[in-house]
Structure formats: structure tokens, C-alpha cells
Structure 1
Amino acid sequence: MQSRLHAHIGTIRQLEILLAVHDKGSINQAAKSLFLTQPTVSIQMKKLADAIGEPIYHLSNRKLMFTDIGLELVKTAVEVLDSFARLDMRLNNMRKLKSGTLRLSVVTTSKYLIPHLLGPFCEQFPDIEVQLNIGNREQTIERLKQSVDDVYVFSHLPNDIDCHTLAFMENPLVAIAHPENPLVKRKNLTLEDIRNEPFLMREKGSGTRHAIEEFLQNQQANINIKMTIESNEAIKHCVMSKLGISILSAHTLSYGEQNGLICLPIKELPIKTNWSFVWPKNKRQTIVAQQFLEHIKASKQ
């Protein structure tokens, strides 16, 4: 018998509001992004929960946490809205407008280079809208699992999700220090020489931290973690303030401030990784996403 669940779930607009609440992590931020009032968003979410007959989310330590049923509804909302988006893009493509939306989710460190890839693409297709989400590796993997976006960017690929990948750029991780650090004057440095140095580490869930920990394990080496910091910029400024040394992507130096930072020539470094575009095998690519990936492939040649 045909399911009648769709008759109870609500309107397309409610599904759009649901995704905004999930992506923004709060009713207030979702309301701002949709140019709605906070009560309007709350009312629509209550109507949706009443239609489902189960709570969609709850608050834990003032943080909005989606239930398993809520996450399943988010996944379905993405599929439903994506179906309309694909229809819209097919119609636009038939009209040769090449318009539509590219949903791109990238890990934090790649924010330094992704704009340089998007620029030429958006110049070629000026009517295409780009929705760019930036998070750490753990957050981006969660979005990949839920197929929220079209394409994802990682420097360290998730190994438990069936995906297509397209490597597009090297991502070497290098050691940095303040110019007055005694290590700067030394030659032929090794990991052993930095073992007792105060080390500034990215937070758990970060791709950079994942790569460093995996590298140190393979090298059977240890470091002295003094601070855990959730931002490359903050780490660079802490190094400038002589609080310690760190290992970061060379791209954070190429596109960021370099004053007060010196790369340490450590024998075992850099840690060699690659930036890759990733998309799930079980999700049909949109026309815009296909066009973007073709653009990337062409730019590599």
C-alpha cells in the first residue's frame, strides 16, 4: 500500500526551515539566515514535530541536539529539496542558463585555497549560486554521512564512507616557530629535537591534528602539547607570541600572515598529504556539481 506519510510531514518550506535549523545549530541563527522571526521558525518546527509525532531535537547544555528521528528527517529533507533543485537545474540547463546552486562543504584549513578555485568557476558561470560551509574534519564528515552537500573537501579522506574522490592539490604540513626560537639557528633538526618544545595543537576532530597524530605514531615519536587551539590563525599568533611551535598546512602560510613565522627544516617533515574533492557514490550528482568537477579536472591539465 502506498505510504501516506508525505501527507503529514508538512510543506516544502518547513523542510527548508528544518535544514536551516540543523545547519545553523540554533533557532535564532536559522531565523536570521531565512529572514524570518524566531517565533515563526519555532512554530514551524513544532508543527513538523507534531506531524511526525516525535521530537526532532532537544537542548543539551544550551546546545541544540537532533534526535535520530530528526536526523533521518533532515536526510529526507535534503533528498526532497535536492530533487526540486535537480529539476530546476535541468530546466535551466535546457534553457542554457547554466544556473543553479553548488553546495560545497570544506574543512577549515582549505578555506585558504577554495576561493581561488571558485573564482574562475563563478566567473565562467556567473548565475550559479555557491553555498560554502566551513567546519573541521569531524563536522564535515558528519555532513558527508548525511549527504547534505554536493561536494566535500578533505586533506585526509574518511575511510569508512563509500565515496568518489578527486585529488587536486598537494597539502604539505610544516613546522613553524618564532624567529627568536633557538631551534631556528640549528641545522639538521629531527623530531627528537622538538620533543620537549611546547607544542600548539589543533583541536580533536581537526584534519591537521589527525594527520599529525598518525604521523607521530608511524614515526614512534612524541611531542609536548602545551595548548589545544581551534583555529589556524590563533595558532599562528600564538607562535608569533613565543608560546610554542606548531605544525600547520603550508597553505595557511601562503595565504595568511607570514610575519614572525619561520619554517623549521626538520628532517622527517613535511607531512605529505593531498587535498581532494569527495562526493558519495550513493547520491546522484547535480548538473552544477558535475560542471564544477569538470572545471577542476580541466584546470589540472
Structure 2
Amino acid sequence: MVLRRVTLHQLRLLAALGQHMNMTRAAEGMHMTPSAFSIQIKQLADALGAPLHEQAGKKLFLTEAGHAGARAAREILARLDMLGQELAEMRGLERGELRLAMITTARYFATRLIGDFCRLHPGIELIMEVVNRDQMLERLAQNRDDLYIMGRIPKDMEVEAFAIAENPLVVVAAPDHPLCAARAIPPKSLENEPFLLREPGSGTRQAAERFFARNGIRPPARMTLGSDETIKQAAAAGLGLAILSRHVLTLELAGGLLRELDVQGFPIVGQWNVAHLKAKRLPPAATAFLEMLKRAQA
């Protein structure tokens, strides 16, 4: 069979479908409408001469041909990425691309480093994704990017990591909160204080829960919110205390919208890391970015 009508775009769509196993989510990931995505998958199935997926209730499953096609699509796209890296190496750093993913909180300090790199290498195209921790781990496992800026390094993956900055977590409250005037606040004093928390699985949420467990307290969780910006606004409105990275609080603390509380055991100082899979062959742009970060720490 000669597959003349198969396009790279269709292969990317099939790889996305194999990743998400959901037509709507795969379409969203490719910035397409579900109907347009479905039409392309149907055309690919016609070109391959076999159905690629089937529906059982609300669940989508790839057929045997679908699995084979998705596997081939990943291999072809990976080989094209390698070709791009090889060509970039031939050209040096005058051209090329850097695929970078970072945890949402990291963008408050990492954008300055990225700006420095872009000024040094204006010919490099930066492709950047800002995601939550679960999405970060998924991207890392699938080797979808060159480098990842994150807090805690997963222990169940073969990852090489380098610490690039401290990440101090602090407790903040609205400026009229009674605890703002207190000093050396014992953790037990937070027992009945409502907290505004990040979503389960986030590094900040996990650090907060470890602190609560160490000190034998279970403060009420008033709200679970999906972004630092929303938590800052809710805390400034007096809806509860929050544990956030000091990196995200520069403007609010300077402007008096929030106050950092003097709680015993805080700040909790973690590390920001840049990481990649050990088996990853880094393209020249990623190697140059990593070297720039290392020089900055020297």
C-alpha cells in the first residue's frame, strides 16, 4: 500500500488522539474544533484503509490500526524533530528553537532569564508552555519539550536536574488580619484559620499539607483555587490565609495589599530546578540555555 495521501498534519492529529483518547481534548490540544479534527481523522482512516477508533459508550478506543498508526506517527514526528536538531547543529545558534515548559508559579522569575537568553540569541524561536504540575509531569513523561522548570523533581522518572533558584513559600493575609501584628506565630495558632489552597497535586499545596501534618494541625480549607492570581485576590479580600511563593507576591507585598505573616517554620525554602529526561538529546538552543543558567549560579 502506498500512502500518498497521508499528511504530517494528520499524523500529528492521530498522535494527539492516541495521547488523549478523547476527541474533544485532542482537538483542543491542537487548537481545532472537534468537528474539523474528526474530519481529518476520518480522511486519514480512508487513506490508511482501516478505521482508527471506535466508541464504546462515552469512551473512545483506538483500533489495532489506530494503535499502529499512532505509534508510527510518534516515530515519524520524533525523527523529524531529530532532523531539525541536526540541521540546527549545522547552523549553530543563529537559528533553531527551544521548547520550554514551566510550572505556573515559575513564570514570575523565569521570564527574566528567558528574556536574557532571547536577547543573546535573537534567531532562536522559543516555544513555551505554562502548565500545572500534573500537566508538567505528563509532558515530561512524553518527552514533549526540551527543558522543564519545576519545583520538586519526580522520583519515578530518569531525570537530570539542576537547581537554579530558591523558592521561598510564605503565609500571607489581608493587611487588617489580627495575626499581622503578631510575631513568631506558633503553627497551632493557625488551627482554626481558613486557608485558600491550590489544587490537589500542586507543589505549593503539597508543601502546605506537609507543614500542617508535621505540626499536627488541620486548618479548614475555605477554597481550592487553580491559580496564584485568584488566591492572591481572595486573600486580599479577607477570605482566608494563603501559602504562596514569595516570587509571586512582589507587587502585593510592596503595595500593602497583602502582609507576610511571621509564622514559625516559614519561609519553607524549596528550589526551582531546570530538568530534562536523562536520555534526552538536547538541541543546541537548549544546551545554550542550560549553560546560561549554570553560569548565572556560578
TM-score (norm 2): 0.84
**Share of identical aligned residues, percent?**
34
Which residue is equivalent to 2:178? 182
Q: Following superposition of structure 1 onto structure 2, how do residues 237-252 of structure 1 map, counting pairs within 5 Å? A: 237-252=233-248
Query: What one-letter code is carried by the residue in structure 2 that aligns with 1:273?
Result: G
Match 2:297 to one of 268, 290, 300: 300
- CA distance in 1 between counterparts of 2:146 and 2:230 reads 30
Tell me if structure 1 keeps the 8 A contact 2:161–2:275. Answer: yes
* 2:283 matches 1:279: no
Q: How far is 1:54 from its partner?
A: 3.9
Which residue is equivalent to 1:209? 205
Name which of structure 1's ranges 253-262 and 118-127 shifts more when overlaid on structure 2: 253-262
Q: How far is 1:91 from its partner?
A: 2.2
**SS of the counterpart of 1:95?**
helix
Which residue is equivalent to 1:138? 134
Query: What one-letter code is carried by the residue in structure 2 that aligns with 1:30?
Result: M
Q: Following superposition of structure 1 onto structure 2, how do residues 1-301 of structure 1 map, counting pairs within 5 Å? A: 10-18=6-14, 25-27=25-27, 30-31=30-31, 39-48=35-44, 51=48, 53-55=51-53, 77=73, 79-96=75-92, 98-254=94-250, 258-259=254-255, 260-301=257-298
Tell me if structure 1 keeps the 8 A contact 2:252–2:258. Answer: no
Tell me if structure 2 keeps the 8 A contact 1:103–1:130. Answer: yes
Gaps of 5+ in 2: none
- CA distance in 1 between counterparts of 2:68 and 2:128 reads 23
Tell me if structure 1 keeps the 8 A contact 2:13–2:26. Answer: no
Query: What one-letter code is carried by the residue in structure 2 that aligns with 1:295?
Result: M
Q: How far is 1:65 from its partner?
A: 7.5
Name which of structure 1's ranges 94-103 and 109-118 shifts more when overlaid on structure 2: 94-103
TM-score (norm 1): 0.83
Gaps of 5+ in 1: none
The Cα RMSD (Å) is 3.3
Q: How far is 1:279 from its partner?
A: 0.8
